[in-house]
A and B are shown apart, each in its own frame.
Chain A
Amino acid sequence: MTFYLVRRVAIGIFLLLLMSAIFFTLTRVTPGAPVSVGENPRIHEEQVNRRLHSMGLTDPNGKPYSLPESYVRYLGALVQGNLGDSYQYNEPVRTLLMQRLPNSILLLGAALLVALVIGIPLGIYASTHQYSKADMTTSIVSYVGVSIPSFVLGIYLLLIFAVFLKQTPLHWGFPLFGMHTGGVDDPLDLLIHMVLPVTALAILQIAIFSRFMRASMLEVLHQDYIRTARAKGLAVERVNYKHALRNAILPIITLVAIAIPQIVNGAIITEGIFSWPGTGQLAFQAVVDRDYPVILGVVMLVAAGTVFFNLIADVLYAVADPRIRY
């Protein structure tokens, strides 16, 4: 187990290094000097050089660093937790990420929780009532859920709940954009602002979780030990929810780890649409502004998170299922 852990961590670090190299190269070969974005065209050359130097792109003599050289410098800074400075905000990327991260964790965590709480029971119910109307409905809902990208879903939700509902005589609806007071000063206000973005993010995962749970349950329900348990005269509920569920729910651990990069992917646009001040919106804005240090920072953060959660998922899986040995 220890050897396995060490190996996994080593592979994870290698993956992160490789990704940072790829993305660093990509952002450096991108055409267009960073200074030219939103800058006074009559700016003096000396000032341009000074700014380029302060961005860490040139050495004190004004000579640009070569690609490997600047990558090594970037890595050296990365080890110290320095992700470089944003072109757009004139602030360290780390500060920006730290400001936005709690909001994102709140939103994504809520979406994941909602998806689990709704998706898993839905899948279990569909599997124990196979081919029933409820099962068919679940399939249809999961079909539609998979076919609607989260940004279109977000726009639909805004349209229905923030625009149409407000035009009804009730004059009631959800707010068009996210997080007015910010933070947790007003939990109720925060909750109301969370409803639409959480729904937009959760529906795809509900579709995936319920589909997976149904398939997993059906597979277990057809195994011999379930028949034995039923033959012994145990109640259907007891067999379904005690014997079968325990084994069927295990793979969900891995699925959750896979779901995290998917939710982050959806969050980039969803947070942008709902003006939710999270890391996704930061990335959304950075993409529009072509603010590459920020894009690079978000990619590295997400990659590190994914590698970490995959590791946790595998370890948890081994703990939960004694048949698995590493």
Chain B
Amino acid sequence: MAQVPPLPFGPAAGGLPGVPDQLSVETTVDQERAIAQPGVKSDELAGAPELGFWRLAVIRFFHHRVATGALLILGVIVLAAVVVPVITGGLYSIQDYRHPYKAPFQNWQHILGTDDLGRDELARLLRGARVSLMVGILAVVGYLLIGGGLGALAGYYGGWLDNALMRFTDIIISMPFLLVVIAVTAATGGVRLSTVIIVIAATGWFEIGRLMRAQFLVLREQEFVQAARALGASNTRIILRHILPNALAPIIVSATLGVSGIILLEAALGFLGYSIPPPEPSWGNMLSDFEQYLLSDHTYLVIFPATALVITALAINLVGDGIRDALDPRQR
């Protein structure tokens, strides 16, 4: 098979037997397969599953080289963050006062060197990755539950809930978000990871809420919803089975980009001492002593966590953009 078969867009209109017309503009899936694979009869392929929206989106995503590469990098980071700390155990917190500030890339025992207390930098970075990813993913789940739920209800039912949602968003937008999170974190008993996650989820969900509301506002007027209602479907069923699947595409993109935003926010909080407390490392609190490291020439202790943060955020953003292109090719 010399040529790559074209992506089969559009619905399959049932098996059309016979030689396909190569000049016709609208070819069916079966005809395209017949063109691509001349030896195979179309009848044999008729039973092959038709490619759905999500399957097509996955194919489109992997045709996007940058996004695929970013996903690969992200996969390596996630895998390392999940697997390596299990193997190394408590290595990240073992102090070795005889060997502080060991330079990186010098020996195999500490590949990325050691920090001011002689702790292994690589183990700390990976442990920090765990913290960052956990906060990012759990807080986004919170966004989806709160924002998605309230947005869907506000968009579907309208009324006071809708008004309240919009006014709340106005308030949040006009506030310096970092100070808000800090004030709430401090007020709710301070620096535990669970508090940080809850506070971020509770204050950051409005963007997804607005998006969900907009989707529901448009979709609830569509004919297929009217049809479902005419058939006697309950509101719950219409929301969950008919509107929600159609509203998901932009929400998924926004949630993906949200993860990187949260990771950066958590790092900023950690940097200020309002996230997970030491000795637990996070990329943010590893940077909080940056002045000391810059002035004492141990710059690698600044470069590693900062770069880890940027690479992760960039990879997530690129994956999110790839998903956007895959789900809605018109926006490219």
Contact = CB atoms under 8 A, between A and B. Distances in A.
Given A15-B171, A265-B178, A152 B267 contact: yes
A141 interface: no
Contact of B317 (A146, A163, A164, A268): A146
Interface stretch (A19-27, A37-45, A49-57, A314-322): A19-27
Interface string A151-183: 110011011001110000000000010000000
Interface stretch (B123-131, B153-161, B306-314): B306-314
Q: Interface size for chain A: under 10, 10 to 19, 20 to 34, or 35 or more residues?
A: 35 or more
A118 B53 CA distance: 41
B256 interface: no
Interface stretch (B18-26, B76-84, B179-187): B179-187
Interface string B169-181: 0110111111110
B189 interface: yes
B35 to A, nearest CB: 30
Contacts, number: 116
B187 A29 contact: yes
A109 B290 CA distance: 27
Main secondary structure of the interface of A (DSSP, over half): helix
A233 interface: no
Interface string B187-220: 1011000000000000000000000000000000
Interface stretch (B8-16, B112-120, B239-247, B268-276): B268-276
Given A18-B171, A149-B264, A295-B182, A265 B177 contact: yes
A283 interface: yes
B171 A149 contact: no
Interface string A275-290: 0000000011001101
B318 interface: yes
A303 B177 CA distance: 11
A143 interface: yes
A269 B174 CA distance: 18
B189 A31 contact: yes
Contact of A152 (B177, B180, B187, B309): B309
A269 B294 contact: no
Contacts of B272: 269, 284, 287-288
A85 to B, nearest CB: 18
B299 interface: yes
Most buried by A among B170, B187, B274: B187
A307 B178 contact: no
B282 interface: no
Contacts of B271: 151, 269
A285 to B, nearest CB: 11
B171 to A, nearest CB: 6
B328 to A, nearest CB: 15
B248 interface: no
A164 B300 CA distance: 12
A299 B290 CA distance: 27
A313 to B, nearest CB: 12
A26 to B, nearest CB: 4
Given A152-B287, A261-B173, A303-B175, A159 B294 contact: yes
25 contacts: A15-B171, A19-B171, A26-B183, A26-B184, A26-B186, A31-B189, A31-B190, A149-B268, A151-B267, A151-B287, A152-B287, A152-B306, A155-B302, A159-B303, A162-B294, A176-B295, A265-B177, A284-B272, A287-B179, A288-B272, A295-B182, A298-B179, A299-B176, A299-B179, A303-B175
Interface of B: 170-171, 173-180, 182-184, 186-187, 189-190, 260, 264, 267-268, 271-274, 287, 290, 294-295, 297, 299, 302-303, 306, 309-310, 313-314, 317-318, 321
Which 6 pairs from chain A and chain B are nearest by CB? A147-B314, A306-B174, A26-B187, A147-B313, A149-B264, A30-B187
